[in-house]
Amino acid sequence: MATKNQSLGEFIIENQNDFQYSSGELSRLINSIRLAAKMVNHEVNKAGLVDITGSAGEINTQGEDQQKLDVFANDTFIRTLTKRQIVCGIASEENDDFITIEGQRNDHGNKYVVAMDPLDGSSNIDVNVSVGTIFSIYRRITPVGTPVQLEDFLQPGNMQVAAGYIIYGTSTMLVYTTGNGVNGFTLNPSLGTYYLSHPNMTFPDDGNIYSVNEGNYSHFPQGVKDYIKYCQTEEGDRPYTSRYIGSLVSDIHRNMIKGGIYMYPRSSKAKEGKLRLLYECNPMAFIAEQAGGSASDGHERILDLKPTELHQRVPFFCGSKNMVAKAEEFMTKYPR
């Protein structure tokens, strides 16, 4: 039974029997993510004091300008997960291809793969806005003892065994699920320990916040435009409040606590959508559903989509289930 102020380590040990196929590796994997997150948090908190902000002068596989903290976070998570010999493969938003990791006896004996966005919203670092890390864990489907393959990563989100995010904000929180609800742990910086602060997190069924970049309004599909107008119309508990940070972790975290919907639809500028299915949408959808919310591409459940490539982009609607259902209602009035 979750106890508030219980440490993350104690919580993992107490609940490891809830992990399907539990034999200790998944618990160790979560612990490794916890360690890497503390290292990234340390650097994020020094932003402005040391040369860690701004562009790294490189372009990632998405064609985006890499920030120095992107590179640091990516290297830190990869190094931590690799050295602990827990996973057989890692796919990162910052890397062109997945990374194959051999076991301690060079036998490819580990069972899990990780897909991650090491620093979501990193362009906000320079202006001191919250950023985050998103991670997703799958059990490999190719035979243990062989090198990891692309198909191990291209699994639908409903095959995730765990997912979570770390938000680096006014406090640092690690929020994750293993398919048995969602729990949030806040870092005590003086002790370096995460404590359970938000047990059994849930989305309210309804909310009054909509989160979307309205600067792209003219490029949105008509169904999205109609839904935004619905949100702005004075009737009942509407108009809703518009809140958009531009950091997926921060927007989803706020809406889960207060009730709301996050939207990043396809547009004439991003015809397939902008967010990545593997690194952002699948883990956030898993968390949302475990918290009583919903996640969709506007027409289909995100977790049922079968990925076709590592860096695939999709439209994303995520949040309080009644709000997502209403957005889908507007979307289905028009052909895709």
User: Which amino acids are annotated as binding site for substrate, given as ranges?
Assistant: 120-123, 213, 244, 274
Q: Cα separation of 179 and 333, whole Å?
A: 33
Annotated binding site, which residues? Answer: 93, 117, 119-123, 213, 244, 274, 280
Q: Please list, in sequence order, all residues whose beta carbon lies within 8 angstroms of the beta carbon of residue 272, skipping any fewer than 6 positions away.
A: 266, 312, 313, 314, 315
Beta-sheet strand order (sheet of 260-264): 241-242, 209-211, 260-264, 316-319, 294-296
Query: Which residues are 129's β-sheet partners?
Result: none
| Residue 7, burial from CB neighbour count under 10 angstroms (0-12, 13-18, 19+) | middle
Annotated binding site for Mg(2+), which residues? Answer: 93, 117, 119-120, 280
Scan for tokens 């320079």, then name that residue. 126
Scan for tokens 């996973």, then name that residue. 87
> Is residue 210 within 8 Å of residue 261, measured between CB atoms?
yes
3-state secondary structure of 27: helix
CB atoms within 10 A of CB 15: 17
Type of residue at 188? N
> Is residue 175 within 8 Å of residue 287, measured between CB atoms?
yes
Which own/partner pairs from 45-50 qualify as long-range (CB within 8 Å, at least 24 positions apart)? 45/168, 47/125, 47/126, 47/128, 48/128
Q: Write out the two tokens for 147.
A: 């090198």
Whole-angstrom CA distances from 260 to 177, 237, 336 are 20, 13, 24
